C-alpha cells in the first residue's frame, strides 16, 4: 500500500471512529444521568435544583477546560443567540421536562424515550437539505424508532400509567430533535466544540435560575454530603456528556447525534433495573434489540457515505 493510500485509509477510519466513540461515550453518560436524576428525587432534591446546580458545575468544569486550551467561548451577538436558544431547547427545557417526569414514569422509561429524536431529526435534516438520503441510514432510524415505539406503547398500556407524565416526558425528545437541527444550522463560524459547550451551559444555568421565580419552583437543596456529592457526580457527567455532544455534532452531523439517546437507553435501562430496583419495561428485549440494530445501521450508513465521498474527491 502506498503512502497516500495509507493516509487515505487513516482518514477514512477517523471519519467514523471519532464520531462513533463520541456516540458511545456520550450516550453512556446520558443513561447514567437519568438514573442519577431519579436517585436525587429519592433523597429530596427537586428536579430544578438538581438540574441547576449540576449544569452550573458542568459549566464551570468546561470553562476551566476551555481556558486551559485557550478556546474561551466567543462573545458576540451571534454566539449569544446560539448559547441561549440552544440552552433553552437542548438543555433547560428538555431536561427539566424529562427530570420532572422521572419520579412518575421511571428512569428506565425516560432513558428509553430519549431514543425517539432520530426520526424527527432525520426528517428535518432531509427537509432542510442538511443530509443526503441514504437507504441504510433511513432504515436504521426507522428500526431504532420502532424499538422505542414498542416500549412506549407498552408503557401506555400498563394499569398504573400516568398519561399526563408520559406525554410530558415525550415532549423532551421533541425538543432534543429540534435542538439537534438548530445547533447544526446556527453553529458560529470557526468556533470549536470546547468553546461552545461551556457557553451553552452557562446560558442554561441562567435560564434555570430564572425558572426559580415561578411558584413552587426553587433551586434550594439540602446541604448534606450525599446531595452535594451527587451534584458533583452529575456535574462531571454533564460536562463529559455535553463536550462529547458538541464533538459528535461537529464530526458526525445531526442524525448520528440524535442516536445519543438510543445508546443512552441501552445503558440507562439496565442501570435502572439492576441498581435502582425498577421493574423491566414491557417489551424490553425486543425494543432494545431494535434500538441497537438501528444505531448500527445508521453508523454503517454514515461510514459508507464518508468512504464514498472520500473516494470521489
pLDDT digits over 24-37, tens only? 888 889 888 888 98
- Residue 63 CB partners (closer than 8 Å, separation 6+): 72, 73, 198, 202
Q: What is the pLDDT of residue 4?
A: 52
CB 58 within 8 A of CB 236: yes
Rounded Cα–Cα distance for residues 178 and 158 (Å): 29
Q: Which of 39, 41, 51 is nearest to 209 (CA)?
A: 51
CA dihedral for 26, 29, 31, 37, sign (positive or negative): negative
- Region 6-31: mean pLDDT is 71
**pLDDT > 70? residue 149:** yes
Rounded Cα–Cα distance for residues 116 and 121 (Å): 9
Looking at the chain, the number of H-run helices and the number of E-run strands are 12, 0
Rounded Cα–Cα distance for residues 88 and 205 (Å): 10
Burial class of residue 220, CB neighbours in 10 A (0-12, 13-18, 19+)? exposed
More confident residue, 296 or 42: 42
**pLDDT > 70? residue 6:** no
Q: Which of 109-118, 174-183, 242-251 has the lowest mean pLDDT?
A: 109-118
**pLDDT > 70? residue 56:** yes
Q: In this structure, what is the dihedral angle of CA atoms 212, 84, 180, 52, given to the nearest 10 degrees?
A: -30
Rounded Cα–Cα distance for residues 3 and 94 (Å): 48
Rounded Cα–Cα distance for residues 224 and 1 (Å): 62
| pLDDT band for position 1 (cuts 50, 70, 90) | very low
Q: What is the pLDDT of residue 237?
A: 94
**Residue for cell digits 454530603?**
225
**Residue for cell digits 454566539?**
79
Q: How many CA atoms lie within 13 A of 111 on its CB side?
A: 32
pTM of the predicted structure, to 2 decimals: 0.77
High-pLDDT (> 90) share of the chain, %: 18
**pLDDT > 50? residue 7:** no
More confident residue, 61 or 268: 61
**pLDDT > 80? residue 255:** no
More confident residue, 256 or 44: 44
Q: What is the pLDDT of residue 201?
A: 93
- Residue 167 CB partners (closer than 8 Å, separation 6+): none
Three cell numbers at 310?
472520500
| pLDDT band for position 307 (cuts 50, 70, 90) | low
- Region 59-85: mean pLDDT is 91
Q: At what angle do helices 163-185 and 94-105 cross, to 10 degrees?
A: 150
Q: What is the pLDDT of residue 84?
A: 95
Q: Tell me the chain's radius of gyration from C-alpha atoms.
A: 19
Q: Could you tell me the CA-to-CA distances from 19 to 41, 99, 306 in Å, in that order? A: 33, 27, 12
pLDDT digits over 189-242, tens only? 878 888 888 999 999 999 999 988 877 778 888 788 899 999 999 999 999 998
pLDDT digits over 68-78, tens only? 988 889 889 98
Q: What is the pLDDT of residue 9?
A: 46
Q: What share of the chain is helix, strand, coil (3-state, %, to 5)?
A: 80, 0, 20
Amino acid at each position: 500500500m502506498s503512502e497516500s493510500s495509507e493516509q487515505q485509509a487513516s482518514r477514512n477510519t477517523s471519519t467514523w471512529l471519532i464520531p462513533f466513540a463520541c456516540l458511545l461515550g456520550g450516550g453512556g453518560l446520558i443513561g447514567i444521568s437519568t438514573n442519577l436524576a431519579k436517585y436525587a428525587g429519592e433523597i429530596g432534591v427537586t428536579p430544578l435544583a438538581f438540574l441547576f446546580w449540576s449544569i452550573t458545575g458542568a459549566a464551570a468544569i468546561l470553562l476551566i477546560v476551555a481556558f486551559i486550551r485557550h478556546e474561551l467561548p466567543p462573545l458576540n451577538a451571534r454566539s449569544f443567540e446560539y448559547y441561549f436558544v440552544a440552552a433553552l431547547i437542548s438543555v433547560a427545557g428538555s431536561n427539566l421536562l424529562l427530570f420532572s417526569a422521572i419520579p412518575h414514569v421511571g428512569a428506565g422509561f425516560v432513558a428509553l424515550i430519549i431514543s425517539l429524536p432520530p426520526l424527527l431529526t432525520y426528517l428535518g435534516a432531509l427537509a432542510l437539505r442538511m443530509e443526503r438520503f441514504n437507504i441504510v441510514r433511513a432504515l436504521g432510524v426507522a428500526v431504532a424508532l420502532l424499538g422505542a415505539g414498542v416500549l412506549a406503547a407498552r408503557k401506555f398500556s400498563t394499569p398504573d400509567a400516568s398519561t399526563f407524565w408520559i406525554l410530558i416526558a415525550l415532549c423532551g425528545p421533541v425538543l432534543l430533535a429540534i435542538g439537534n437541527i438548530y445547533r447544526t444550522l446556527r453553529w458560529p463560524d470557526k468556533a470549536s466544540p470546547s468553546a461552545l459547550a461551556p457557553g451553552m451551559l452557562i446560558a442554561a444555568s441562567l435560564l434555570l435560575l430564572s425558572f426559580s421565580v415561578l411558584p413552587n419552583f426553587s433551586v434550594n437543596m439540602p446541604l448534606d454530603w450525599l446531595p452535594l456529592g451527587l451534584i458533583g457526580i452529575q456535574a462531571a457527567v454533564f460536562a463529559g456528556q455535553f463536550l462529547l455532544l458538541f464533538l459528535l455534532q461537529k464530526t458526525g452531523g445531526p442524525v448520528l447525534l440524535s442516536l445519543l439517546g438510543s445508546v443512552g437507553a441501552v445503558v440507562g435501562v439496565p442501570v435502572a433495573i439492576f441498581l435502582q430496583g425498577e421493574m423491566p419495561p414491557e417489551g424490553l428485549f425486543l425494543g432494545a434489540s431494535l434500538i441497537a440494530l438501528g444505531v448500527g445501521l445508521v453508523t454503517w450508513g454514515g461510514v459508507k457515505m464518508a468512504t464514498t465521498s472520500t473516494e470521489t474527491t
